[in-house]
Amino acid sequence: MLTAFAVLLCLSALLAWANERWVKLPSTVAVTLAGAGSSIVLILLDTQGWTFGVKQQAAELWRTLDFTAFVLNGILSLLLFAGAMSLDAQLMVRLKAGILTFAGASTAISTVLIGFGSWGVFHLVGIDIPFIWALLFGALLSPTDPVAVLDMLKRAKVPKKIETLIAGESLFNDGVGVVFFLVIGAAAGVGGGHADASLSGALLVFVQEALGGIVFGAVVGWVTYLLCRSIEAASVEILLTLAAVIGGYVLAAGLGLSGPLAMVVAGLVMSSGKERAFSVETREHVEGFWETLDEVLNILLFAFIGLDVLLTPTGVNEIVAGFLMIAVALAARFVSVALPMTLVRNRDGYGPWTVRVLTWGGLRGGIAISLALGLPPSPYRSTLVTATYVVVLFTIAVQGLTVMPLVRRAAEAEEMSTETR
């Protein structure tokens, strides 16, 4: 485990350095593409017998590290807390209706649409897959990834209101998406899903996982806020927030609650009270720590996504299905955003370009891949993993690099609407 992590850390550092020195792309995009490119080169060389077993050794190291555990049970809690703590909690409260509507309704609509669409696509290319597994694919692919989205927002300079909406939805919908995944997984007979897949059982899971996680996170955040407010030692306050995240995430999982939602809420509680909890100097140390940790873990995560292509045995039909799923995922994202927007547009004053920014800025990343890789062995696992990889790489490499024109148009529309009011 330590050897695998050391290899990942060293490779990530070298890829990030090379990008910063010569290429200067966004770090997450650069290390993902470099990792994927390196994997493809190794695969091609291995087919000619020119890698002397390097591919097998690398694949064994990656299996040892276990991507699903690395993300869902490892760095996700830290990334979600750091992302939530960096946001304007007061503005999120003002936009709560839209954020919760998109996090819940959009994720549900997208799950169904991607489920039907993927079922049709897989059968079109000659892959026979049960509809319940296609719906499970919809559940794992629907949540936008908060890590990828927050990184995009930091460099794109999105208008504040739209930034808060996108970030808030992304932070909350991964927890909702995981709950959907667990419930549908039970119906599909996937290990780790909840045993009761009935409607009443699904509602119970939602209340316990989602609402319970939100309440638990609020308690963790409030207690941490009170402890930090009572002292003025930066190192101790950093330790308190770190303990709250790691300890709170483990305890939430032990209680059967949604750890991701709990950490988002805990981070928002700390964000809303950080001016009172920390002195100016202490706040700089605490925020600096979490910003640095966030950036480092981002690079590690997306390097892992790129290099993990090594572990995916695949065929031509599966790759073709993955490329077709790019269009299906984008269409589902557009519909799942446009429908709820009719309920909140006038209330919160969103401009005409907001739906397009939400659609093209809805990046997928580590959450989707970790859920896909966490699927048990089955005749359908390779198909779903391959399609997930293709969609994720497209969203990071293409959408992440081309969202700026949309952002500029949205900013102009936002300014015009403000002037006319």
Distance (Å, whole) CA 149 – CA 193: 27
Distance (Å, whole) CA 101 – CA 173: 10
Give per-residue pLDDT as tens, 83-136. 999 888 989 989 998 999 999 999 999 999 999 999 999 999 999 999 999 999
Q: List the one residue out of 341, 372, 322 whose CA is nearest residue 145.
A: 372
Distance (Å, whole) CA 144 – CA 103: 9
Distances in Å between the Cα of 29 and the Cα atoms of 147, 246, 256, 407 are 12, 27, 34, 18
Q: Where are the alpha helices (DSSP H) in 87-130?
A: 89-94, 96-101, 107-124
- The number of C-alpha atoms within 13 Å of 194 and in the hemisphere containing its C-beta is 22
- 38: tokens are 């390196």
Distance (Å, whole) CA 321 – CA 326: 9
Quickly tell me which residue has 């309920």 as its tokens. Answer: 343
- Check residue 396 and report its DSSP letter: I
Distances in Å between the Cα of 12 and the Cα atoms of 118, 300, 353 are 33, 6, 36
- Radius of gyration over every alpha carbon of the chain, rounded to an integer in angstroms: 21
Distance (Å, whole) CA 399 – CA 98: 23
Q: How many CB atoms sit inside 10 A of residue 117's CB? A: 20
Q: Where are the alpha helices (DSSP H) in 125-231?
A: 131-141, 146-156, 160-188, 199-206, 212-229
Q: Which domains does the chain have, with CATH numbers?
A: 70-420 (1.20.1530.20)
Whether 147 contacts 174, CB under 8 Å: no
* Residue numbers in the chain where pLDDT is lower than 50: 193, 195
Give per-residue pLDDT as tens, 153-205. 777 777 788 888 988 999 999 888 888 898 888 888 875 545 455 666 667 77
Distance (Å, whole) CA 70 – CA 90: 32
Distance (Å, whole) CA 294 – CA 286: 12
Burial 366-377 (b: 16+ CB within 10 A, else e): bbbbbbbbbbee
Burial level of 259, CB count in 10 A (0-12/13-18/19+)? buried
Q: List the one residue out of 25, 22, 21 whose CA is nearest residue 33.
A: 25
Distance of CA 111 to the CA centre of its chain: 15
Nearby residues of 297 by Cβ (< 8 Å), 6 or more positions away: 75, 78, 79
202 SS3 class: helix
Distances in Å between the Cα of 356 and the Cα atoms of 48, 278, 335, 404 are 45, 38, 11, 12
250 SS3 class: helix
Q: List the one residue out of 396, 398, 405 whose CA is nearest residue 353.
A: 405
Global pTM reads 0.89
Distance (Å, whole) CA 272 – CA 87: 9
pLDDT value, residue 341: 93
pLDDT value, residue 39: 77
